[in-house]
Structures are given as structure tokens and as C-alpha cells.
Amino acid sequence: MTRKTFKDEIFTLSDRLYPMAKRMLHSEEDTRDAIQEVMIKLWRKRDQLQDHPNRTGYVFLTARNHCRDVLRRKRLQVVEDPHESDYGASPGHEDYALRELVGVIENLLREHPERDREILLMRDLDGMEYREIASVTGLKVEHIRVIISRTRSFVQQHLKKNYNYE
């Protein structure tokens, strides 16, 4: 794989890797470092990547595994702060209500298996396509659609029942 091909096909994916890495690592600095290290790993494996049938999936899988390795090395527990928000809105009633809703949803998602939670986050937060998620997780696209549908349905039912959200 040439330098130009790598830059055009692999390096351009770094913008799409950022949300996933940020969600996993919770630190701007760690996220940037992780993406840089992933790109270095991929550059070293560029000859293998050239013939890979699903390069995008391979890149996302490499990034996810690298982030998990970083977390293991630091021995951190991934505990998300329900009041942490990337929405950037000014403090106020609406912002507080949104943060509270995000916190409730995050707590609900913690009740589900990690795999199901990650699949939903890959789809809804990271904007990954079903086939990309399938290549990362090793599941079939149909199974991923079912998992996402069930998880969304669970959250929706819980919110309607306990908080009267429509």
C-alpha cells in the first residue's frame, strides 16, 4: 500500500475513530495519543491491509482493541459521569434536564450486557454503519439490528413508564 493510498483510505478514518476512542478513554489527551498509536500500528501493517476485504472494519477493531489495552494498562474502570456532557450548552434549566436525561439513559444502558451497550453506542453516538459494526463485533448485521432495536425499546419503555417521556 502506498503512502497516498494509506492517507486517503486509512488515515481519513481517524476522524471517525475519535468519538469511539473518546467515549472509551474519557480523556482528550489519551484519545489523541491512542489514535496516533493506532495509525502507527496500521502503517506498520499496511501490506496486510492492502488485501484485507474490510479495511474500515479492521481499522475500527484495531482502535477498539487498542483503547481496551490502554484501559487495562491503566487499570481504570470505565465509569461514565452522568453529568458530563459533550453538548456544550450553557448552564441552565434545559442543559440540566438534558444532562439528567443522559444520566438516566446511561444508567439504563449499564443494566444491559456490555456488548449490547457498545453496539448501540457505536451506532447512535459514533455513527457507524451496521456492516462496520458487524465487522468489529463479528456478528451478523441482522443480529446487530435486533440488539439495537431491543435496547432502544427497553430504554423507551423505561422512560415512558417512569418519567412520562414521549
What domain count does the chain have?
Answer: 2
Predicted local confidence at residue 92, as pLDDT: 54
**pLDDT digits 0-9 by tens, 119-157:** 988 888 778 889 888 888 889 999 999 999 999 898 888
- Please compute the mean of the pLDDT values over residues 76-99 and round it to a whole number: 51
**pLDDT digits 0-9 by tens, 106-118:** 888 888 888 888 8
- Please compute the mean of the pLDDT values over residues 74-84 and round it to a whole number: 47
Query: Do 99 and 69 sit in the same domain of this protein?
Result: no
Query: Do 49 and 110 sit in the same domain of this protein?
Result: no
* Torsion on CA atoms 128, 132, 136, 139, rounded to nearest 10: 110
Intra-chain end-to-end CA distance of the chain, in Å: 51
Query: Do 101 and 70 sit in the same domain of this protein?
Result: no
Task: Show which of 18, 39, 74 is a domain's final residue.
Answer: 74
Residue 80's pLDDT band, with cuts at 50, 70 and 90, is very low
Q: What is the DSSP letter of 89?
A: P
| Cβ neighbours of residue 123 closer than 8 Å, sequence gap 6 or more | 130, 133, 144, 148
Query: Do 55 and 101 sit in the same domain of this protein?
Result: no
pLDDT at 69 over 60: yes
Let me know: does 76 contact 122? Beta carbons within 8 Å: no
Query: Do 98 and 49 sit in the same domain of this protein?
Result: no
Residue 94's pLDDT band, with cuts at 50, 70 and 90, is low
Whole-number Å distance between alpha carbons of 51 and 46: 9
Look up the domain containing 57 and give its range.
3-74
- Quote the mean pLDDT of the chain: 82
Query: Do 69 and 102 sit in the same domain of this protein?
Result: no
- Please compute the mean of the pLDDT values over residues 62-84 and round it to a whole number: 68
Its pTM surpasses 0.75:
no
